[in-house]
Amino acid sequence: MLTRRQAVAASMASAVTANTSFLSRAMAQAVGKQTHVIVGFAAGGGTDVGARLFAERLRGPYASQVIVENKVGAAARLAVEYVKNADADGSVILFTPDFPVTLYPHIFKSLPYDPMRDLTPVAPFTKSVLTFNIGTAVPASITTLPAFIDWCKANPDKANYATTGAGGTPHFIGVMLSNESKVPMTPVHYRGGAPALQDLIGGHVAASINPISEAMPLAQAGQIRTLAVASSQRTRFLPNIPTMREQGLNLVVDSWTGVFLPAKADPKAVAALSSAIAQAVKAPEVIEANAKLGNEMTFQPQPQFVATVKADIEKWGPIVKASGFVPEE
């Protein structure tokens, strides 16, 4: 038989459990029955695959139905603008790599959004690395980034690199590399990673800067040579490939994919979404699926992620200005 003290304790524990359950349900219901995850890139690409893994983990903890929509156009700016203009009730989510948010504000004079004014950063989902690769246009004796730079000095007419599009992070890694090494390198812009890597394999360009998910299979098959990663530390997916900093270049770019809501988003939706992301990045199936893309899972509480986004926006300003790059808008 329970004592009075035990009965009171049991009653309090039951109330706490019930209240927690109620809050969890209320937070999930705050966004309604259907949520849309907006992606600025085509279906089947790395960002789209990541978004679908993300969306699957939102079903239940955040909303009963989650739909991924590909709003392709204007190099992902269309997707960001769409979310900017969406209802702030948490039913429309932006899933994006960092550069449309952190780099584009310094590139496009007529950018239709201000990331810190028009969006609510919620949390990062994955972090990845960008790789520097060479192909058949470069002699097989070139096996390090410093050796490639020396080769460019001796062959200025061949010193070029492919990017996955003008104004993206790979483009500006090349700009930073050229500035650091004091060797002019000409960017050759492609509409995505696949055609850039095809031309790298075919010897039409000397080098290419690509996300690890695109480069890793080709490097492992011996079709291209990965000389460096641009991240602050080596990746476990290519553990023998040194960073650019390890090879004497003061060049570090840590890339992430993050989750955003419209400005002035409902605080309950922000809290619920942040909580769902914190759980999603721990799920074994999510970790395993992202590992196949060369992605590590990551998470930051919302205030920390806001600070990360601000810092990255500030970081790119001087780099873009020094490049003199002017896009064709």
pLDDT digits (tens, 9 = 90+) for 72-92: 988 899 999 999 999 999 999
Query: What CATH superfamily classification does 31-128+256-323 receive?
Result: Bordetella uptake gene, domain 1 (3.40.190.150)
pLDDT digits (tens, 9 = 90+) for 181-209: 999 999 999 878 889 999 999 999 999 99
d(CA 86, CA 91): 9
DSSP letter, residue 43: T
Q: Report whether pLDDT(15) > 80.
A: no
Q: What is the model's pTM? A: 0.83
pLDDT digits (tens, 9 = 90+) for 101-160: 999 999 998 999 999 999 999 999 999 999 999 999 999 999 999 999 999 999 999 999
Domain ranges of the chain: 31-128+256-323, 130-247
Average pLDDT over residues 7-30: 44
pLDDT digits (tens, 9 = 90+) for 168-182: 899 999 999 999 999
The DSSP string of 111-180 is -S--HHHHEEEEEEEEEE-EEEEE-TTS-TT--SHHHHHHHHHH-GGG-EEEESSTTSHHHHHHHHHHHH
Name which residue leads in pLDDT, 10 or 329. Answer: 329
- Looking at residue 46, what is its pLDDT? 81
- Beta strand 225-229 with 119-128 is unpaired
Q: Which residues make Cβ contacts (< 8 Å) with residue 257, sequence separation at least 6?
A: 47, 50, 95, 96, 97, 98, 124, 125, 126, 127, 128, 295
Average pLDDT over residues 5-19: 44
User: 31-128+256-323 and 130-247 share one CATH topology?
Assistant: yes
d(CA 228, CA 184): 19
130-247: CATH architecture: 3-Layer(aba) Sandwich (3.40)
Q: Look over the chain and give the mean of its residue pLDDT values, rounded to a whole number.
A: 90
Amino acid at 147: A
Question: What is the token pair recorded at 228?
Answer: 């460096």
What does the CA dihedral 271, 276, 282, 284 come to, rounded to 10 degrees? 180
- Looking at residue 329, what is its pLDDT? 63
Which residue reads 């492992």 in tokens?
220
Number of H helices, E strands in the chain: 12, 11
